[in-house]
Amino acid sequence: MKSMIDRFIKYAKIHTTSDEDSTTFPSTDRQKNLGKIIVEDLKSIGVEEVSMDDKGYVYAFVPANTEKLCNTIGFIAHMDTSPAASGENVNPKIHENYNGEDIILNEEQSIILSPKEFPFLKEKIGKTLITTDGTTLLGADDKAGITEIIEAIDYIIKHPEIEHGPISIGFTPDEEVGKGADYFDVKKFNAHFAYTIDGGHLGELEYENFNAASANVVIKGKSVHPGSAKDILINATTVAMEFHSLLPSDEVPEKTDGYDGFYMITDFRGEVESATLKYIIRDFDLENLQRRKDLLINIADRINERYKSKLVEVEIHDQYYNMKKIIEPVMYVMDLAKKSMEEAGVTPNIVPIRGGTDGARLSYMGLPTPNIFTGGANFHGIYEHIAVEDMIKAKETIINIIKNNAISHDKIG
């Protein structure tokens, strides 16, 4: 437990927030600071082939110690943290033997992590929790995944009696801004399949994710003096509000769950002469995603027709697709994960990801990559936390996957 805690806290304290407005790659150079440390840490535990490229990707390879023909298996996590909350000056707090009551994160600001607001905390009674100090996120997403992979590999190297095939390890930048797979070298990684260790609660196992698109809506207005504005002035901000009001009000993140899709406005800026609205669009079904995209365009057309002018323009870009289509033909990778979880005393909870992972894009790049839990919760905010015992179960799951891959006769490569 001490090694897990110490490694995680060391990584959590390194500022690695990515920047969605950046035009560089990685989006923030500070992510490479963690990459350099990871390279040295991997070397220190005995991984001989490890490097970081100029884009900030860390690759490492552990050769097989058996003559058996085994699939090459990969494990992936990301180094950046979400720009949704500060990732600078992270100060993790350790709470041993959690008693199920409120946790005061920051007394000065009266910030409390409470089971009244987060009922699943009751499942963590008796465990050691690591929380924030109420001023930043924690970074368990996904420094917990990095920690768990390295701790598992350390165990494998220290126990050469454990027979295993080739293992590929990858740590990516910029996952939180949707670019983590942009320059990932699948050929170099050279795995038959992989797992992102980037999930949440204990037992989560995921091979379905949203199909995703982004939309940028630009509105041009016409400004004249308000005193003589009748039948002339067109207020772009008013048109923008009208545009948004024509979307279904109950198809938003705060009113959906499970397999429901949604529209989410992420930015709104407006003046009389111009306004912009930015959306993310999500749906598990590709046809439904297209329907959502079509609705945005149809609303723009209706407004333009009413004003008899092209006031509204909509630009839509697909971001990633549901990896279910890629994983279903090779469900062996899911069976391997389920078996390995169960052997670690973890009940698999197969749920759809209401979001995306590097694995979604990597699956379409030829590397089937479902997602496994880290044990963390409340990602992207000041209430983020993780149970150390759940991190250990993630480590045990990784070890079991490596073991079971070596004894399995199911080969996909």
Q: What angle do CA 192, 198, 200 make, to 5 degrees?
A: 135
- Give yes or no: 358 in active site: no
Establish how many alpha carbons lie within 13 A of residue 122's alpha carbon, considering only the half-sphere containing its beta carbon: 6
Residue of 80, 154, 208, 396 marked active site: 80
Catalytic residue among 141, 142, 175, 251: 175
Distance from C-alpha of 133 to C-alpha of 94, rounded to nearest angstrom: 10
Residue 5's closest CA among 128, 152, 87, 104? 128
**45 φ, ψ to 5°?**
-95, 0
- Would you give the DSSP letter of residue 283? E
Helix axes 31-44 and 2-12, enclosed angle (nearest 10): 150
Which DSSP letter does residue 222 get?
Answer: B
Give the angle subtended at the CA of 139 by the CAs of 179 and 323, to the nearest 5°: 40
Match 């993630």 to its residue by tokens.
Answer: 394
Q: Which residues of 113-150 are buried (b: 16+ CB within 10 A; e: fewer)?
A: bebeeeeebeebeebbbbbbbbbbbbbbbbbbbbbbbb
80 carries an active-site annotation: yes
Which of the 8 DSSP states describes residue 354?
A: S
Order of strands, sheet of 385-387, starting from the edge strand that comes earlier in the sequence: 93-95, 129-131, 385-387, 376-377
Active-site annotation, residues: 80, 175
